[in-house]
Structure 1
């Protein structure tokens, strides 16, 4: 799955900077580049040679970010850029170009252009170079006061161009273009955004809590007076917050994923509700502790799950060791 290609995705910021040394000059047209992960980046420069040096005197020219033993490493020989780097040089205008495809966050670095002449040891590097920042996309969730829903906005850690085009997917299917999207409250659908032309690299999906999972510890034998620990967990993005309630009580018993009942007795029986909630919605699960009647007092717990409006309950029964005799 990927958004439809929209051509070259390059965003250049900042101002011209010129480096010169003994008549050499490298003019990087822009010194800061912000690009979305998966896009194609284009960097360019112009070169001025000192008197007596001509393009035919240049035996090698290339871009680099690293040095080894004090010498620059050609990007074309760097395994991290294998198959993703292209150079182009225009001898008529003395212009140099670098293209990096399918950029990664690890590509964030300072890129410099260097030239080596036919004379041993004679070289020139335009420094400082061009700083590339590669960013992943994120979805920001904001409550809309006048509507029963949320506004999702696609954004990045560095400033992309005003020309950036975003597309939205719902459950991995394209739904619309635009930098923002309105969704209804309580939705359990998954929403993600992409930058057109970014080779399928999109934001992590945002969605409301899925059905929580509730566990009990200890899971084996338990005696009256032991501590019982209840744990609730739900898949959600943004991460869910958890609240525990007991039936027929208005105030919550605890907050957080873990709820511990100390000195457990039959009086603690009843329904305990774990509610997972984030900006997108909420979901409930019920832990039911019920004592048996009879000579030996034992209990079992059943997990009953509800999602928003409960339609069907799913029960898991766990029988415990008998409690102390009455």
Structure 2
């Protein structure tokens, strides 16, 4: 009986020792190799370790989203990108419980991404204040320069370029360069300044008085943005309108004499201009025939004169 008791006592002690050794993970740590900031495109390894019995399984997290479940203690990045820049942690777990590591920030260095440029306001009128904005994702943070097309002198060394009291000469293409010590990217934006019609002029071809029966072309032109619409009408006949820059009158008659008005208009305003058409009678048919006969007789006379000589 004494030996049996001793054997039973030893078995009890073995169970107690086993129960003390098995436990949930007491520690859980995540590490980064190489340490510190890493350039985009380089390999990186996350390692998670724990003191646990039985051995822990590991789950890696980016922010609060799991990357792997029940994986090994190593999570490799073969070529990191800017999207991998985040906080990472791991969870160590066995059948007795789990333990979560403190977060570790993976800092990725990368050249500026293609800048996003914007223009305020969306529709630009003469005299307004215009702000061009350039933003690029970069680490370290990007520096900025604004240029105008065909001009190498920077207009601004900040992400914003302010254009005060703009006029039509401000229209054109502008460039924004974002750069850091790892590279540079450039984006463009076009500025289109709107204005009402101006510099209106009218002309008539052929110039001067117009002979009855001939044809004339009235031309109207102006500077406008957006492009202007043209409408012609004769004074006193506003209901009879013709559209377009050119107004052609064929076989013109005396009743076509008078003032003609050209109205140019866009969404920002309009202007009017006037030109006079004067129709005069041409030579009569009898006068034309007489002139031709006279010229014919002169030619005959010259021919006879040279033959007699």
User: Shared fold by TM > 0.5?
Assistant: no
User: Highest relative contact order (Cα 8 Å, sep 6+), 1 or 2?
Assistant: 1
The answer to which structure has the higher helix fraction is 2
Find the structure with the greater CA-based Rg: 2
